[in-house]
Each structure stands twice: as C-alpha cells, then as structure tokens.
C-alpha cells in the first residue's frame, strides 16, 4: 500500500488563495496595554500564488514587505486573524500536515560545534528516518553530493564558513525528503559564488526529486533570478507581480 506521504507528494501542489493576515499588538510595556487599545495592522492582503513540484518559488521584496510573514503563515508559526486558504494538494495545510510533510529551515538552529558535517547528517538522519542503516547511509551520501558537502565532510561545524553551514542545515531538513521546504532569506550576506552554489543545489534537488521550495529574497542578482522558476513580488503585503520569472515585465 502506498503511504499517505507518497500519495500527496506525487504531483504535489501548494496553493495560496486570497490570503490576508491581520495581527493586533500593543505598543510600549505591559502598563500601556491597560490604558491603550491594541494596534491592528494588515500584514498581508489577498495573496494568491501556486507552486507545483519541481519548482523553486521566490518571494521577493524589501524589508517590511511581508515576505517573512507569509512564510510563517504558511508554516503555521504565527498567530493572528487569517482569511483565505493555504492548500497542499487541495487539502488545508494544517500544523500537523506541515510537520509531517514539510520543513521550515531556521538558520539560527544550534548544533553541536564539535561534530563533523557527516556526523551531524548521520545523527539527524537516524533520528528522522525509520529505516535500515544502508538506507540512512545512502540518503546522507546523496545529500552530501547534491549540496557539495563531500569536500568538507570531516570538518567540524565550528570550522565551517557561513555558506557551508547553510548548505548543511538545508541538507539536514531534506533528510526526510519533504514535499515542501521553506527557507527565509537563504542567500542573505553570502558572496556571489556561494549564493549561486546554494541556490543551484536547491534548484537541482527540487527538479530531481520533484519537490517544491519556497524562499524569500530582497533583491537577487540576475544569475539567481534564473534559478527561480516562479517569483512573487511583494510591496507592503500586496502582490505586484506573481508568475513565471521569464515573463516578469
């Protein structure tokens, strides 16, 4: 019998339909909340986009455009008033389904600095996968090849460059072969070559595995643009353009 994950990942599709997000917050300290009514702000307004398997979709926008908020809403990491729908293969993307089938990469994740790249991947794979050692070894080997981690396999986390560390963290989150991987600003602060290497590896992975990636960026260079299948341009929570990268005006 085919697993639920196999069924939903075959021809996977993420749809965001007319999504609006409103949140209330109090300015100042707790004393202010007694005398001052909360401020209500609309962070996202009628966002609609679609991602299918094999695609890397880039959410592009300046600071404060709502791109990080959008990722947190999709991954059920933020509280507020939500209108619209987030669907995975036509089904509501609940917190439970996201946890089972998707991954959100947090580059602030703390890892043991004394472990090597290969040790970290093996340790994470053994925890995440319920399968034989041979399968775990093959999965780790494949990810190390796909994200160019082989040459630094024996280096400890503490000795890695930031670009290497990010590729390692992405590979860690791909151990379970998620249907969708979400990454907030993966190339921020990286040099041109490192940024291209990371995004090229991610694009190759999504195509080979028929998976989806949703990433945010501020103002990527032209070489990075070419690695994005689709883009959505946000401006203060609203869409300016959403569609194929090659058709952007």
Tokens for 170?
Answer: 């992405």
| pTM recorded for the entire structure | 0.89
The model's pLDDT over 151-167, given as tens digits with 9 standing for 90+, comes to 999 999 999 999 999 99
Q: How many domains does the chain have?
A: 1
Structure tokens given for 181? 């991987």
What secondary structure letter does DSSP report for 130? -
Q: Which helix (H) or strand (E) holds 91?
A: strand 91-92
Residue 230 belongs to domain with CATH number = 3.40.50.300
In our burial notation (b when 16+ CB lie closer than 10 A, e otherwise), range 108-141 reads eeeeeeeebbbbbbbebbeebeeeeeeebeebbe
Residue 10 in this model has a pLDDT that exceeds 80: no
User: Could you tell me which residues are beta bridge partners of residue 235?
Assistant: 238
Least confidently predicted of 11-15, 102-106, 165-169, 232-236:
11-15
Name the residue range of residue 91's domain.
Answer: 4-247
């Amino acid at each position: 019998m085919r697993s639920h994950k196999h069924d939903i990942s075959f021809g996977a599709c993420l749809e965001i339909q007319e999504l609006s997000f409103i949140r209330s917050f109090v300015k100042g300290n707790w004393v202010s909340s007694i005398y001052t009514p909360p401020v209500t702000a609309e962070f996202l307004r009628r966002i609609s986009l679609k991602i299918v398997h094999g695609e890397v979709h880039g959410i592009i926008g300046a600071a404060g455009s709502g791109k990080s908020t959008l990722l947190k809403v999709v991954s059920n990491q933020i509280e507020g008033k939500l209108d619209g729908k987030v669907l995975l293969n036509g089904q509501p993307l609940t917190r439970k389904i996201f946890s089972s089938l998707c991954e959100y990469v947090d580059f602030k994740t703390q890892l043991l600095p004394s472990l090597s790249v290969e040790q970290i991947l093996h340790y994470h794979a053994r925890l995440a996968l319920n399968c034989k050692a041979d399968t775990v070894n093959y999965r780790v080997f494949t990810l190390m090849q796909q994200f160019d981690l082989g040459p630094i396999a024996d280096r400890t986390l503490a000795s890695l460059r930031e670009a290497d560390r990010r590729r390692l963290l992405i590979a860690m989150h791909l151990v379970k072969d998620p249907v969708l991987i979400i990454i907030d600003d993966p190339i921020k602060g990286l040099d041109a070559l490192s940024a291209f290497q990371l995004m090229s590896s991610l694009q190759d992975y999504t195509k080979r595995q028929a998976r989806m990636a949703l990433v945010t960026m501020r103002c990527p260079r032209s070489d990075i643009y070419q690695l994005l299948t689709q883009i959505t341009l946000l401006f203060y929570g609203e869409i300016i353009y959403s569609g194929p990268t090659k058709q952007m005006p």
